[in-house]
Amino acid sequence: MGSVLAEEMLHLALAANLLNAVGGEPRLDTPALLPPYPHPLPHGDRSLQVQLVPFGSEALELFLRIEQPATADAPPEADSYETIGQFYAAVEAGMRRLCGELGEDAVFCGDPARQVGEFHLRGGGGAVIPVHDLKSALAALTEITEQGEGAARTDVWDGDRDVFHPDRDEVAHYYRFQELKHGRRYQAGDTPQSGPTGEPIAVDWDAVMPMRPNPRTTDHPEGSDIRVAQERFNTTYCLLLKQLEEAFNGDPARLGATVGTMYQVKAQAQALMTMPLEDGTATAGPTFEYVPPRTCEPDQVRRCPIGAKSTFWPSSGPNVLLAPKTDSALAVSAGDALERRHDLRHRAVRIEPEAVDGHLAMGAVAARDGEPVVGDVPVVGSRRLDDAVVSGAEDAE
């Protein structure tokens, strides 16, 4: 399962390369991509409803439906597609048609600097392919479809070597879910028709946390422990979406910084699934609801006297630091930032001061190894003032 997750991140990077290659702009930080569960896949068959459910037979059947291979003679389908393979076949057909009508130079007009050239997540196979012409575009599409549904739509294997067992071919995603469903691995000679006949796979189904399906923050009172934890998860997840969107829109070198946020998302989701519901029938879970960026309101501003040391105030809302007057101050990014428009991880930025009642308001973030720093740093706090306050970003150790 972990390798599927890593390879889906690879597919996201490949899709971004394809869109950037033709002059598009990848968009991830938008409420349109986080509708309430259950919901259909975008532009997909409306009969397929994606659910948030605990791992088990229902989840496996959902994964198998999503990764269902297209038949060898299935036509391309750009809308209301029955399989993801048919959708990508429609993308391929459209690119071939446009290149024939307009020429490759006109179609692949995007800025090459926006291409992700190297991105590897531990535990996944495949490779990122920069896209600059029809040949590289088709290679990227093939990487996505073969990892998902198998080579040539008729094979169990995806054409790569297994990351954890280099002596074996890698099984495509659809067939990895079949392995879990049947409790047995595929081995050489197996086919889609034969099913897996290799060594057994043991799954401890009793270890799965009994999460309530399709959880929502509105299931719980405002201020309750579960709702606060869900809101914090949603803020972190939306920070990740923003980081990825920025990386795919002109700053591909920043992809590495998203890995730390991914681990935060994982840890916060796991913590939620240990929290029993108020009625004791199940546990809470992550809700994946959109959190828009916010600015500080006047009543959220904290103050410290002129001459006082910089201070970190943890809070579930926006924070700023009112520090002693200086010409400017450096803020270093927080790995656990609670507000999320300016991702400053691994970067120093100059915060221009703004006078408030004789103090200076400064957008506040600071961290060392992902933890907030209190004390001898120029400025500390948790997230931002208005966008206009932050200026002059520059790289720093």
3-state secondary structure (DSSP) of residue 34: coil
- Would you say residue 367 has pLDDT above 70? no
Q: What is the dihedral of CA 280, 284, 289, 294, to 10 degrees?
A: 100
Question: Hey, what are 268's tokens?
Answer: 């916060």
DSSP-derived letter for residue 300 is G
Percent of the chain clearing pLDDT 90 (strictly above): 51
Question: Hey, what are 184's tokens?
Answer: 């047995």
Question: Hey, what are 294's tokens?
Answer: 């916010």
Burial 137-146 (b: 16+ CB within 10 A, else e): beebbbbbbb
d(CA 82, CA 115) in angstroms, rounded, equals 30
pLDDT at 389: 29
- Would you say residue 157 has pLDDT above 90? no
Domain boundaries of the chain, sorted by first residue: 2-24+68-207, 293-397
- Would you say residue 285 has pLDDT above 80? yes
- Would you say residue 96 has pLDDT above 80? yes
Whose tokens are 């879910």? That residue is 177
- Would you say residue 344 has pLDDT above 50? no
Going by C-alpha positions, the residue among 55, 62, 51 that lies closest to residue 203 is 55
- Would you say residue 226 has pLDDT above 70? yes
DSSP 189-255: T--TTT---SSB----GGGS--BPSS--GGGS-TT-HHHHHHHHHHHHHHHHHHHHHHHHTT-GGGG
Name the pLDDT band for 147 (thresholds 50, 70, 90).
Answer: confident
d(CA 288, CA 52) in angstroms, rounded, equals 10
Select the more confidently predicted residue: 369 or 83. 83
Low-confidence winner among 41-45, 47-51, 185-189, 326-330 (lowest mean pLDDT): 326-330
Give the per-residue SS3 of 17-68.
HHHHHCCCCCCCCCHHHCCCCCECCCCECCCCCECCCCCCHHHHHHHHHHCC
pLDDT at 294: 59
pLDDT at 123: 60
Mean pLDDT across the stretch 105-123? 85
User: Where is mean pLDDT largest: 119-128, 213-222, 384-393?
Assistant: 213-222
Percent of the chain clearing pLDDT 70 (strictly above): 68
Q: Rounded to a whole number, what is the distance in angstroms from the first to the last CA of the chain?
A: 35
Query: Quick one: how far is CA 225 from the chain centroid?
Result: 25
Going by C-alpha positions, the residue among 242, 235, 267, 271 that lies closest to residue 257 is 242
3-state secondary structure (DSSP) of residue 391: strand
Name the pLDDT band for 357 (thresholds 50, 70, 90).
Answer: very low
Cβ contact 124:6 at 8 Å: yes
- Would you say residue 302 has pLDDT above 90? no
Mean pLDDT across the stretch 67-82? 90
pLDDT at 117: 87
Per-residue pLDDT tens over the stretch 161-220? 555 555 567 888 899 999 999 999 999 889 989 999 999 999 999 999 999 999 999 999
Mean pLDDT across the stretch 87-98? 96
Name the pLDDT band for 160 (thresholds 50, 70, 90).
Answer: low
Whose tokens are 């259909």? That residue is 40
Helix (H), strand (E) counts: the chain: 8, 8
Q: What is the mean pLDDT of the chain?
A: 75
- Would you say residue 85 has pLDDT above 60? yes
- Would you say residue 30 has pLDDT above 90? yes
Whose tokens are 């519901």? That residue is 277
Mean pLDDT across the stretch 332-342? 32
Select the more confidently predicted residue: 299 or 61. 61
